Structure 1
């Protein structure tokens, strides 16, 4: 199994075409086909099949492609690490966030990082929490900021809880239950969440107060569409206070419910891969973010310890 063979099968699976993969890799189609045939012969299984939908991976191929992406990403990171050791920080760092996780500290930290390491390429990907962890697991992301609770994810990553983000429940103006004072009054309502009930802290809220979870739930990861649904339906929506304040500034007001029960905050954590696998570019940003969130009023040092050290 060789690196050029892994690049070949990943490119073909991602593009769905040998022709397009050939163009992306800058090699001829016959050479690309030969690489795949040699890989299949080496492994003793069929990796790709042709159909009227193009080229798709077999079960063997899908499993190999998942591993191949991680291997190729590690090779890229190794090369960048060597280049960094030569004296220049000019690699790449990929950050994963969900709509609720960045804040003022994130922007300030990123600005300081960019001034300190202007040649580092920074990529920011906004994804749902489950997709964030998938990207981290596959090596596509160096670090993520997530609202998922660490206790539910025994995945071997390093978790550093940064802060608790206040949350509220809200309904549209004029909603029949805008004056509700207990969670029990809302049981029969439709709920609007940015994550699944299992991943959302709302699920924990119902468990805490020993109430059955909502039966009707709309999941919407788009902040814009989420806002429109909250404003134009009777759903009870769960908001981070930061996002709600931002939406309110645009003149899109909602009515916040004043319940006897406490609405659980979103505990925002920074999650990164094993310290031995984190590049120096990523480690420097991790240091910056952890320090900025945990010491918001302190002078910013050039370098602080990363989580777990």
Structure 2
């Protein structure tokens, strides 16, 4: 089995047809067909099901693709690492960031990273650790920065805490509850929860329970920063989000924090990377920039 086999099979799965895969890879369709047939003969199983609109992986094919993707990611990282060790500012770095990290730390990180690695292709994804975990373990992303659940997989990842965090309650400018001073005064309000934060729905209920209150009324779920801001800015919905949202100009223009007496804890912000393999030089430099930005963020918040 050769690397070209992995590339061909992965391309077919991603594109959904042999023709599209051949076009993507810049090779002829018979070469794609031959690669699939050779691997299927070697494994003794069918990797794809043919149907009128193209092909889709079989159960065996899906299992093979998971391993093939990890192999290709590792080979890419190996090539990038060697090139960067030789002093070349090339390759790729991919990271997943929580919304709070994007707002508070990313602006301090981008410029120095581009100055040092101007030819490295950088991919930034928004998400929580549960959405990033599989990609991290497969090597599709280099690391994750954001809140982390209490029990990430032991032995598979390294979790480095950057700083502890708190939440604030946000509503639109002029919200009827803007003058509330306690969480109890918000008990009858309606809320929006986000899928970006880690286990946000559970944590929202847990916060109310911690203060002896019934779970809040949740009427909407949003999976992106922009959707949350627009939904809250154009309704009477409230949301509970990390305090870093105040650092984003869009939030300050559209929303206002409701200054209640209770301190609302949030999971600490961490860097999570794989335990068994080091980051490439470019990825390690980017991770170190996030560490430095976190230190400045904590100092600014304290001062």
Answer yes or no: same fold by TM over 0.5. Answer: yes
State the TM-score, normalizing by the size of structure 2: 0.84
More strand as a share of residues:
2
The offset of 1:153, in angstroms, is 1.7
Task: Tell which deviates more after alignment, 31-40 or 289-298.
Answer: 289-298
Cα distance change of structure 1 residues 211 and 100 upon mapping to structure 2, 3 Å threshold: same
1:247 aligns with 250
- Give the match for residue 303 of structure 1: none
Specify the alignment match of 2:226 in structure 1. Answer: 224
Shift of 1:207: 4.6
Q: Higher helix fraction: Structure 1 or Structure 2?
A: 2
Question: How far apart are residue 281 of structure 1 and its match?
Answer: 1.6
CA–CA distance in 1 between the matches of 2:170 and 2:212?
A: 21
Within 2, Cα distance between the matches of 1:272 and 1:83?
21
Q: Could you tell me whether the CA contact under 8 Å between 1:165 and 1:265 is conserved in 2?
A: yes
Give the match for residue 117 of structure 2: 117
1:74-153 matches, cutoff 5 A? 74-103=74-103, 105-149=105-149, 151-153=150-152
Contact 1:169 1:237 in 2 (8 A): yes
TM-score (norm 1): 0.82
Alpha-carbon contact 1:102-1:145 (below 8 Å) kept: no
Deviation, structure 1 residue 159: 1.4
Contact 1:196 1:219 in 2 (8 A): no
C-alpha distance 203-85 of structure 1, shift in aligned 2 (>3 A): same
Aligned position for 1:282: 283
Post-superposition CA distance 1:35-87 (Å, at most 9, x none): 11221222222211122442111111112212211110101111222223334
Alignment of 1:47-66 (within 5 A): 47-66=47-66
CA, structure 1 residues 296+222, in 2 after alignment: closer, same or farther (shift >3 Å)?
Answer: closer
RMSD between superposed Cα atoms in Å: 2.8
| 1:190 and 2:190 aligned | yes
Higher mean C-alpha deviation, range 175-184 or range 110-119: 175-184
Q: Is the 8 A contact 1:202 1:264 kept in 2?
A: no
Cα drift, residue 170 of structure 1: 2.5
Corresponding residue number in structure 2 for 1:12 = 12
Report if aligned partners of 2:128, 2:198 keep a CA contact under 8 Å in 1: no
Mark the CA change 1:83 to 1:218 in structure 2 (over 3 Å): closer, same or farther. same
Query: 2:211 — aligned with what?
Result: 209
User: 8 Å contact 1:193–1:218 — kept in the other structure?
Assistant: yes
| Contact kept in structure 2, 1:128 and 1:221, CA below 8 Å | no
Per the alignment, residue 257 of structure 1 pairs with 258
Mark the runs of 5 or more structure 1 residues left unpaired by the alignment: 299-309
- Shift in Å at residue 144 of structure 1? 1.7
Q: Is the 8 A contact 2:193 2:218 kept in 1?
A: no
Match of 1:34 in 2: 34
Contact 1:179 1:257 in 2 (8 A): yes
Q: Which residue of 1 aligns with 2:168?
A: 168
Q: Quote the Cα distance in structure 1 between the aligned partners of 2:95 and 2:121.
A: 11
SS at match of 2:100: coil
Deviations 1:237-267 (A, max 9, x none): 12333324523543x244x334343222352
Deviation at 1:3? 1.9
Query: In structure 2, what is the Cα distance between the partners aligned to 1:208 and 1:184?
Result: 12
2:235 counterpart of 1:233: yes
- What CA distance in whole angstroms lies between the structure 1 residues aligned with 2:45 and 2:265? 50
Work out the CA distance in 1 between the residues paired with 2:22 and 2:178.
59
